[in-house]
Structure 1
Amino acid sequence: MQDSHSTDDAAAPSFDQIQRFLFDATNVRGEIVTLDKAYAEVLDRHSYPQAISRQLGEMLAAVALLTETIKLDGTMTLEVRGTGIVRQLMAESNPGGELRAIARLSDEAVLPTEESSLQELVGQGQIVITLDPREGKRYQGIVAIDQDSLAGCLESYFSQSEQLPTRLWLMADGKRTGGVMLQQLPNDDANKDPDAWERVVHLAETLKAEELLTLEQQDVLHRLYHEETVRIYEPKALRFGCTCSRERLGAALHSIAADELRQIVAEQGELATQCHFCHTRYSFSAAEVEAIIEDPDAESPIVH
C-alpha cells in the first residue's frame, strides 16, 4: 500500500473524515468514512431508540460517501420516507464537509427492537436522493425500499441508474458510524487486472463492524488489502453543521398566509420556531413579521 500524499501527523485519528483510495492498474476505486463527533452531535440533540440511532448513523455515512464519490459541489440530501414506525430519515451534506441528520417517528410509534431492519422500521416507502449543485440544475432520484438494508437499496440504485457496479458496507453502533464504498469504473486500457473487482469485493465482505468503527482508516485498508497495491489519498475532514439561519426561516415564512402569521403573533406576542436538526431557537417580533408580510422581497430587520 502507498499514500499518494504524505502527512507529518501520521498518528492523527481517522474519525470524522473520509478518504479516497484506488487500486493501481485496475478500474476499481473506493471511499472509506468514519464518524464519531459528528455522529454524536446529531444524537445528542434528540432521544432516539437504538435502532433509529443506528439507521441515522448509516444515513450519515452513506450521504458522505455518495457526496464524495460523485464530487458534488453542492448539497446532497438522502431521505427515507415511510409509513411504518419511522416516517422520515434524512441526512444532508454540504460543500464545507458539514453533515446533519434527523428522524421523525409515527405519533403512535411502537418502539422498535434494537435489531430492526430498515424495511421493518419504514414499512412501505422510498428513498429520495436530491442533488442541489451550486451551479446547474437540481436533480432528484427515487430509490425503492426493496432490500432490508440501506446499503442494499443504494446498491440497486447504482446498478439501475448509474449502471456502475457498486458495493457499500454501512455500520453504526450508536457511538460511531462508518462505511466503505467500492465502485467499478468502465473498462479502459489502464485496467490490467480483470479479476480485481471480484477479489476486492470478496475481501471487503470480511470487514467487521468492530474493525471499521475502532481502527484508523489506513489500518482498516491494510487489514483488508495488504496484498494489493492501494493508493490512498489525502483525507477530507467532516463535521456536524446545520444550514439553518434567520434568513432561511424568514424566507420560509413567506409561504404562510398573512392572517395566520398575525394570529400567531397576537396569541404569543412573537413568532418563535426551532430548527428540527440542531434545536436552535429563532424568534421574530411583531415588527419583523409585519416587514415580511408587507414587503417580502425587501431586506427586513430579520436579516440584520
Structure 2
Amino acid sequence: MQDPDKQAGDAHEETAPNFDQIQRFLFDATNVRGEIVTLDKAYAEVLDRHAYPQAISRQLGEMLAAVALLTETIKLDGTMTLEVRGTGIVRQLMAESNPGGELRAIARLSDEDVLPTDEATLQALVGQGQIVITLDPRDGKRYQGIVAIDQDSLAGCLESYFSQSEQLPTRLWLMADAQRAGGVMLQQLPDDDANKDPDAWERVVHLADTLKAEELLALDQQDVLHRLYHEETVRIFEPKALRFGCTCSRERLGAALHSIAADELRQIVAEHGELATQCHFCHTRYSFNAAEVEAIIEDPAAGSPIVH
C-alpha cells in the first residue's frame, strides 16, 4: 500500500499517466469509498483481435471497466463474468476478470448485415435483453444475478441493480472511446460513529457528475481525483495492475469437445485430417489429431463417457 495518508491534493512529480490499473480511495471521516480504473493496452488487445464497429468497441470498453470495478469492490477471489444478452444487432457482450488482474471480452453480432451508428446506446445495440452477473469463487458456491436492461447505459443498469437488490448505495461512471476505457465507482457504506460528514455522499457524487471523458481517459488517476476532489481529504491506496489475459487451454477445449458425440468428432477428423478450433476471445488456434481425438473420447476425467 502507498502511504495511507497520501491525499489526492498533494503535489506530485510529473510522470507519464498510469493506465491499465485500478486504484482504491476513500474520503476520510466519511462513510464513502471509491475505485477508479483506466485501461489502455488491456483494452487494445481485446479490440486488436476483432474488427468491431465503434459503438460496440465503446460498449466493450465500458464492460471491461465495469467488471474490473465490481471485482475489486467485492474483493472476489475468483472469476467474475459480466454478460449482456440481447435480441438486437448485438446478441452478446461479455467481459471477464480473474484474481490475477487479467481481463478479456468479446461481442457477438446477429446474422443481420446491419451496422450500428457510432453513438448507439446499449439499448439500441442489444434491444430486449438482460445483464447476467456471475461470481465464480475459488472456494464456495457460484452465484448469478440478473439485471434488466431498462436504461440506455450499462452504468445506469448496474446502478438500478444495486438499488433494487438493497445493497450499498452505488454510483458508476463508465467511459470508453475505442482507444482507452475507464470508470469510477462510489459506494456509501453503512453509517457509523466514524462518519463526521453526513453530507459527503451527495457532495462527492455531484462532483463526480462533472467528470469528462477526456479527463478520465487521458489523465493519471491521481490527477483525476485531484481535479474532482481537491477540496476533500482523499486517502489513496496502492494501485493494482490489470492486463489482458485469456483462460483458454488445450485441456479446457478438450473437456468441451468431450461433450460432442463421438461419431461427429471422428467424422470431422476423417474429413479434415484433424479437429481444429479457435478461442473466440484471443484467437489462439488449437488442433487435435486423430489419436488425440480418440483420447478425448475415451478420457474418463473429461466427464461422462461419450455415447458411441
Identify the TM-score tier after normalising by the shorter chain.
over 0.9
Q: CA deviation at 1:245?
A: 0.3
Partner of 2:11: 4
Which structure 2 segments of 5+ residues have no match? Answer: 1-9
**Are the structure 2 counterparts of residues 121 and 300 from structure 1 closer, same or farther at C-alpha, using a change threshold of 3 Å?**
closer
TM-score, normalised on structure 1? Answer: 0.94
Q: CA deviation at 1:16?
A: 0.2
Q: CA deviation at 1:299?
A: 12
Deviation digits for residues 220-258 of structure 1, max 9, x if unmatched? 000000000000000000000000000100111111111
- Please state whether the residue corresponding to 1:175 is helix, strand or coil: coil
Which deviates more from structure 2 when the two are superposed, residues 219-228 or residues 105-114? Answer: 105-114
1:19–1:236 contact (8 Å) kept in structure 2: yes
1:77–1:130 contact (8 Å) kept in structure 2: yes
Partner of 2:48: 44
Deviation digits for residues 117-171 of structure 1, max 9, x if unmatched? 0000000000000000000000000000000000000001111124211000000
Deviation digits for residues 273-297 of structure 1, max 9, x if unmatched? 0000000000001000101112332
1:250–1:302 contact (8 Å) kept in structure 2: no
- Please state whether the residue corresponding to 1:301 is helix, strand or coil: coil
2:101–2:242 contact (8 Å) kept in structure 1: yes
1:76–1:132 contact (8 Å) kept in structure 2: yes
**Are the structure 2 counterparts of residues 221 and 85 from structure 1 closer, same or farther at C-alpha, using a change threshold of 3 Å?**
same
**Are the structure 2 counterparts of residues 171 and 289 from structure 1 closer, same or farther at C-alpha, using a change threshold of 3 Å?**
same
1:4–1:231 contact (8 Å) kept in structure 2: no
Which deviates more from structure 2 when the two are superposed, residues 153-162 or residues 275-284? Answer: 153-162
CA distance in 2, matches of 1:144, 1:300: 36
Q: CA deviation at 1:303?
A: 23
1:16–1:38 contact (8 Å) kept in structure 2: yes
Which deviates more from structure 2 when the two are superposed, residues 77-86 or residues 11-20? Answer: 11-20
Indicate whether 1:290 and 2:294 are aligned: yes
Deviation digits for residues 61-104 of structure 1, max 9, x if unmatched? 00000000000000000000000000000000000000000000
Which structure 1 segments of 5+ residues have no match? Answer: none
Q: CA deviation at 1:210?
A: 0.2
2:262–2:306 contact (8 Å) kept in structure 1: no
CA distance in 1, matches of 2:108, 2:192: 45
2:258–2:306 contact (8 Å) kept in structure 1: no
**Are the structure 2 counterparts of residues 10 and 162 from structure 1 closer, same or farther at C-alpha, using a change threshold of 3 Å?**
farther
2:33–2:187 contact (8 Å) kept in structure 1: yes
1:90–1:101 contact (8 Å) kept in structure 2: yes
Partner of 2:268: 264
Deviation digits for residues 183-219 of structure 1, max 9, x if unmatched? 0011111111000000000000000000000000000
**Are the structure 2 counterparts of residues 26 and 256 from structure 1 closer, same or farther at C-alpha, using a change threshold of 3 Å?**
same
1:58–1:150 contact (8 Å) kept in structure 2: yes
1:168–1:180 contact (8 Å) kept in structure 2: yes
Structure 1: 4+ residue segments shifted above 4 A: 298-304
Indicate whether 1:189 and 2:193 are aligned: yes
2:17–2:218 contact (8 Å) kept in structure 1: no
**Are the structure 2 counterparts of residues 109 and 152 from structure 1 closer, same or farther at C-alpha, using a change threshold of 3 Å?**
farther
CA distance in 1, matches of 2:230, 2:11: 16
Q: Percent identity?
A: 92
CA distance in 1, matches of 2:172, 2:92: 22
RMSD: 3.1
CA distance in 1, matches of 2:192, 2:33: 14
- Please state whether the residue corresponding to 1:255 is helix, strand or coil: coil
Indicate whether 1:247 and 2:251 are aligned: yes
- Please state whether the residue corresponding to 1:302 is helix, strand or coil: coil
TM-score, normalised on structure 2? Answer: 0.93
**Are the structure 2 counterparts of residues 298 and 74 from structure 1 closer, same or farther at C-alpha, using a change threshold of 3 Å?**
closer
Aligned length: 299
CA distance in 2, matches of 1:184, 1:272: 50
Q: CA deviation at 1:39?
A: 0.4
Which deviates more from structure 2 when the two are superposed, residues 240-249 or residues 10-19? Answer: 10-19
2:168–2:189 contact (8 Å) kept in structure 1: yes
1:284–1:302 contact (8 Å) kept in structure 2: no
**Are the structure 2 counterparts of residues 10 and 247 from structure 1 closer, same or farther at C-alpha, using a change threshold of 3 Å?**
farther
CA distance in 2, matches of 1:84, 1:299: 35
1:291–1:300 contact (8 Å) kept in structure 2: no
1:130–1:138 contact (8 Å) kept in structure 2: yes
